[in-house]
Amino acid sequence: MPGVYAGVGEAAVGTNKTVINLFQPLASPTDRPSLFDIIVGCSATPADGATKFRVQRHTALGTEGSGFTPVPLDPAEVASTLDCGVAHSVEPTYTANAVMLDMSMNQRATVRWTTDPRYGMKIPAVQNAGIGLFSVSSTVSAAHQATLQWEE
């Protein structure tokens, strides 16, 4: 049975600011994990700021300020083969025309996208390939948090 994992990230959003990316760190990965759950919210004082988020494939990691070690939802599960990047000082290189989801939200709301893991967003079995969640545009520079869940 496949393992299910979670990763979390936070960023003060603006234009083209990655909140979290999920990627293959291994030189020769053999699996193609499936991202099936995305939750985005804002912890700032309630206001009427709006942000448009995008989920898109990337081919290069950028420079992450810190990483987040993925957590298995079953504590008996082995460690994830993926890694999470957060607090980027240099953004990942997003693949042109590889947009998989756009979500617009009000700062007062929490948005969730979910699907059956069999039909999730697949991460290619290529080193440094991955999927990132970033703000395309925002009327505020408020801290937004995201949780990603995937199956390997």
Q: Write out the chain's pLDDT in tens, 152 residues.
A: 689 999 999 999 888 899 999 999 999 999 999 999 999 999 998 889 999 999 999 999 999 988 899 999 999 999 999 999 999 999 999 999 999 999 999 999 999 999 999 999 999 999 999 999 999 999 999 999 999 999 99
Work out how many domains the chain is built from and give that number. 1
Determine the Cα–Cα distance for residues 38 and 65; give it in Å rounded to an integer: 22
| This prediction's pTM | 0.94
Question: What is the tens place of the pLDDT at every residue in 27-56?
Answer: 999 999 999 999 999 999 888 999 999 999
Determine the Cα–Cα distance for residues 87 and 102; give it in Å rounded to an integer: 21
Which CATH number covers residue 116?
A: 2.60.120
Determine the Cα–Cα distance for residues 115 and 117; give it in Å rounded to an integer: 6
Residue 118's domain spans which residues?
Answer: 4-151
Q: Label residue 100 left, alpha or beta by phi (over 0 means left) and psi (-120 to 50 means alpha).
A: alpha
Determine the 3-state secondary structure of 78 from DSSP: coil
Residue 87 near residue 21, CB atoms below 8 Å:
no
